[in-house]
Amino acid sequence: MHSIKNEQFNQPLAEDQEEYNTLHINLNTQDPYCPATVCFELTLDEIEQITKTGKIYYTQCLFRKTAPSNDGKEAYVPREQFHPMSISVTNPLDQK
């Protein structure tokens, strides 16, 4: 699976950062929520797996900070408690 780079999705996110895959995003700076939209292209094997399981897993980095936990060790907690996200099977940019 990789993000598609085209005229809509042409702003690289995490470019030249070896620990991340570059995402080609559309960043809507006119919206107060400033949504970043990305389109992924799947391999035939990935499509087969989704068809078989009906599942897609999503992981989002929340950029942590440390805080004491109940056992006295430090634990990682999100910087913010709410990071909105959405997943769609249609291009939300085409709906505008």
Domain ranges of the chain: 2-83
Q: Coil, helix or strand for 52?
A: helix
Tens digit of each residue's pLDDT (9 = 90 or more) over 25-68: 998 888 888 888 889 999 999 999 999 999 888 777 666 666 66
Rounded mean pLDDT of 83-94?
69
- pTM for the full predicted model: 0.65
Q: Torsion-angle region of residue 18: left (phi > 0), alpha (psi -120 to 50) or beta? A: alpha
**Residues in Cβ contact with 53 at an 8 Å cutoff, skipping those fewer than 6 apart:** none
Write the burial class of residue 13 (CB in 10 Å: 0-12 exposed, 13-18 middle, 19+ buried): middle
Percent of the chain with pLDDT over 70: 73
